[in-house]
Amino acid sequence: MYCINPSVYRMRVSYCFQLTKTNLVKRIFILLAMSSIFIIATSAQTGTIKGRVLNQQKQPMTGASVQINGKTVARTNEQGDFTINCQGEKTQIRVSFIGFLTTTSSVTCNGQTEIILREQVNELEAVETTTGIGLRKSQLEQPVSVAQLRETELKRGNGLFLDDALNGNVPGIIMQRRSHSGGQQFNIRGYGNGIGIRGVNGNFDSQGSKTYLNGIPVTDAEGITVLDDIDYASVENAEITKGPSGTLYGLAIAGVINLQMQKAPREKTSVSQDVMTGSYGLLRTTTRLSIGGKNSSVLLSYGHQNFDGYMNHTEARKDFMNFMGEFILNNKQNISTYVGYSNSYDARNGELTKAQYANFDYSGNPAYIKNNAHSAVSTFRAGISHSYQFASGISNTTTLFGSAQNTDQSSAGGWTDKNPLNYGLRSVFNTNFTLGNQVTLNGITGLELQQMKAITIGYAMGTDNTNPTGYNVITSVRSDQVTSNGTGSYFTHWTLGLQNELSISAGIGISNQNLKLDDRLWALTNNTPGNTKLKTYANQYNGLISPSFAINKRIGKNLSVYASYATGYKAPVSANILIATTGQLNTGLRPEKGTQFEMGSKCNLFNGKLFYTIAFFQAKFNNKFTTVAVPNPANTATLYTYIVNAGTLNNKGIEFLAKYTLLQSSNGFIRSLRPFVNFTYANFKYENYAYQRVGKDISNKDSLITENYSGKQVAGTPKFVWNAGADIETSVGLYGNINYHHRGSMPFTSDGLNTTNAFNLINAKIGLKRNFGKWGIDAYTGINNLAGKQYYYMVFVNQMPDSYLPAPNKANYFSGINLSYTF
């Protein structure tokens, strides 16, 4: 018997066991064998897992959380890589990143894995501005109304028209177009456009807001934006800042629209072909070649678009070529490039009168059709951006850009050729400092400079005597002008992040604009001794200071409240500074000024399933341009009119947006069901607003009339607009959406005597998206205006009898298929 004395081990109990020598040897052998097996097994099941986390574009996700059993064990580095310890043959890891769907994966120990995160459709995605703030910030950290549209919103319809996406998803903005795919304009929080030929509003171009494409200004140096030549089908991201934005963007009194074209995913090479057909001869084809490497990516695309027209003389055709390149030179610098060419043609059949629209008479305006009214725009646009990381928290991005256009347009009033050349740069320094415990300071400091040279020739039109029943032809030159315009803005904006999730932002921008117009036909009628009519007109608007201030407070992780103040200006365009009849410079004209107070809240509830934002704002636009009529001495006729500053738009409103993930599952047939709703209430009024014209008195003689609009609703803005809808995705690749749009009635003359009818639209789309090995397919069909209601693309403001640009009043369909192959 072998006994162990417990006293040796200072134990209070003792035990003995009896073994024979043979049994002892066997048991020792068995014990050693089992220990060896345990050691070998443990050694085989203890190791590391290496992985990389990417988004759907195969770009690395920096800072993604990697968890095991609910505990964070690693975060991904700048390349999206992570390394973790593991035990056992398989380890289940959970990877999450804000704005993306959490993914769970079972990974072999001592193995490698690549995890792709899908974007979550909610507003807590990090918002990337393309030319402004330049910092990744979630919606809860932004003390301003910023709306971002991505693929879900941009492709709910056929994806060819930006107004479909904006009008259905962004409260506070209405986008209109004069033709099937041209003459686009924005109305942002009641600021519709610049001064028109009949006072108050212009209807022939877009002014007041600024638009950027891949960081390149589409808005020219004069402040005019032409949007006919943008390939909206290739836009993958749109960001809208609402209200005066002069601090960061210069002369942007109404707001800013940033558009970003599609980019090639990293480490993936593919080709794709998209084909879409639809009602009224709609055809769109897009061919893409996408080459993505580890440190570079290139995307080349060609798009062709054709439309036969839903009314007489409304056909359209467009061709687009786009090149996007991104190149990482080293860990401190990268270069991105964009080169685009477009050739756009939209026929116009003019505006319908009230009577024509009411009677469904869509025959158009005979004067427009006789003059072969159209808009033709050919554009070459290019930009190159260089980003450099000087040190931790200090970087610079500088973009050089240029564009050349050849445009010709005709309408009932004649024919105009314009050939503008724009070029410039935008350079922004981003700084990020940590000042102490939970105290940070982020800054943006930079400048934007732009110059434009343009030749504009106006022609009269008359009957073609060789073909009297055909289109009119150019008969004489009316004007020949050379303009040389420039604008510059200098800005700095800082955000101080404090403890308890409180941040304070302040910034200031200084903008300048110079205009110069040279009359090349001056000598034909003015080359006489003593003539006082100017040959060259020039004016400058310097030192336009636009401060901004905001405070943002996050309450917990899911709620924020904010208040902000912002300002911006709109300077006159070259046509405003000339009193044409007298040939004198309009020296008394001052830029319009916009100021905006805004308060709001953003909230994320139920683990990101519900997101809402609500904003209360007051935007005031002072020194609004209006016209003064100068009668003859007998007060029987108008000698001429000119533009002056008079009156204010006082625009108060409420905007609300909510999105809810009603159902989300990685196992069931329905993978996601997401309803959404948004609405706008607009109480927009004129204050001290009047303009002059010559009308008829009781004796039917011309008489000076002053129109006073004070207290009336601002024309071109409905009081109520709302949208509701839902998106659905299934496990077999089926997807679809349905959306309902309501637009209330609105006045389209400032006296309030002429109003539109409210209308409602129902649009729907269904599709199938699947991958078969290296092949991908997306087939879909959709319907617009499901109920066949009468509605309009655009209504002209204060231009009676010209009024309505109607949209198709019957249900119209589209279908398409996108094929792709990944090498």
DSSP secondary structure, 457-489, as one string: EEEEEE--TTSTTS--EEEEEEEEEEEEEEEEE
Query: Can you give 72-105 as a three-state secondary structure string?
Result: EEEECCCCCEEEEEEECCEEEEEEECCCECCEEE
CB 83 within 8 A of CB 19: no
Structure confidence at residue 137 (pLDDT): 66
Nearest-angstrom CA–CA distance, 65 and 72:
6
**How far apart (Å, rounded) are the C-alpha atoms in residues 176 and 631?**
36
> Tens of pLDDT along 509-563?
999 999 999 999 999 888 899 888 888 888 999 999 999 999 999 998 889 999 9
The mean per-residue pLDDT over the stretch 200-212 comes to 76
pLDDT: which is higher, 262 or 608: 262
| pLDDT on residue 639 | 55
Residue 128: DSSP 8-state: P
Which of the four pLDDT bands, split at 50, 70 and 90, describes residue 18? Answer: very low
pLDDT of the residue at 582: 65
Does residue 765 register a pLDDT over 90? yes
Grade residue 121 by pLDDT with cuts at 50, 70 and 90.
very low
Q: Return the minimum-mean-pLDDT range out of 233-242, 307-316, 431-440, 615-624.
A: 431-440
pLDDT above 50 for 422:
yes
What span, in angstroms and rounded, lies between the C-alpha atoms of 648 and 43?
Answer: 79
Could you give the CA distance from residue 620 to residue 547 in angstroms, rounded to a whole number?
Answer: 15
Higher pLDDT: 22 or 71? It is 71
What's the average model confidence in pLDDT over 252-278?
95
Q: In the numeric block, which tokens belong to residue 675?
A: 């309803």
pLDDT over 90 (residue 68):
no
Single out the residue of 136, 166, 325 nearest to residue 239, CA to CA: 166
Identify the CA nearest to 256 among candidates 269, 270, 243, 274. 243
The pLDDT of residue 46 is 74
Helix (H, G, I), strand (E, B) or coil at 447: strand
Contacts of 163 (CB under 8 A, 6+ apart): 175, 176, 177, 184, 793
Lowest-pLDDT choice from 164-173, 604-613, 720-729, 754-763: 604-613
Cβ atoms 218, 131 nearer than 8 A = no
Q: Cα dihedral angle (712, 716, 718, 724), rounded to 10 degrees?
A: -170
Q: Is the pLDDT of residue 198 over 70?
A: no
Find the distance separating the first CA and the last CA of the chain, reported in whole Å: 76
- The percentage of the chain sitting over the pLDDT mark of 90, rounded to a whole number, equals 62
pLDDT value at residue 531: 85
| pLDDT class of 634 with cuts at 50, 70, 90 | low
**Contact (Cβ atoms closer than 8 angstroms) between residue 371 and residue 412:** yes
- The mean-pLDDT minimum among 240-254, 779-793, 796-810 falls in 796-810
* Per-residue pLDDT at 542: 95
**Residue 397 CB neighbours (<10 A):** 19
Eight-class DSSP state of 56: T
Q: What is the 3-state secondary structure (H, E, C) of 583-644?
A: CEECCCCCCEEEEEEEEEEEEEECCCCEEEEEEEEEEEEECCEEEEEEECCCCCCEEEEEEE
Mean pLDDT of all residues in 435-457: 93
CA-CA distances (angstroms) from residue 543 to 33, 220, 253, 753? Answer: 88, 20, 15, 40
* Per-residue pLDDT, 136: 53
H or E, element range at 358: helix 354-358
Please name the amino acid found at residue 815: S
Higher pLDDT, 103 or 376: 376
Mean pLDDT of 164-192: 94
For residues 111 and 752, which has the higher predicted lDDT (pLDDT)?
A: 752
- CA dist 655 and 683 (Å) reads 12
Higher pLDDT, 69 or 740: 740
Conformation bin of residue 632: beta by default, left when phi > 0, alpha when psi is -120 to 50: beta
| Phi/psi of residue 608, nearest 5 degrees | 85, 0
Most confident of 15-24, 70-79, 787-796: 787-796
Q: What is the mean pLDDT of residues 674-681?
A: 97
Of the listed ranges 267-281, 553-567, 617-631, the one predicted with least confidence: 617-631
Residue 695 has pLDDT above 80, yes or no: no
Closest CA to 456 of 484, 488, 423: 484
Residue with the two structure tokens 């981003």: 430
Mean pLDDT of 4-24: 42
pLDDT at 134 over 70: no
What are the φ and ψ backbone dihedral angles of 664, each rounded to 5 degrees? -150, 125
Q: Which of 804, 411, 798 is nearest to 627 (CA)?
A: 798
Predicted local distance difference test score (pLDDT) of residue 2: 41
| Confidence grade of residue 279 (pLDDT, cut at 50, 70, 90) | very high
Asked if residue 132 has pLDDT above 90, the reply is no
Q: Give the contacts of 565 (CB within 8 A, at least 6 positions apart).
A: 547, 548, 549, 550, 595, 596, 597, 598
**Residue 29: its pLDDT value, please?**
45
What does the pLDDT read at residue 551?
A: 97
Average per-residue pLDDT for the chain: 87
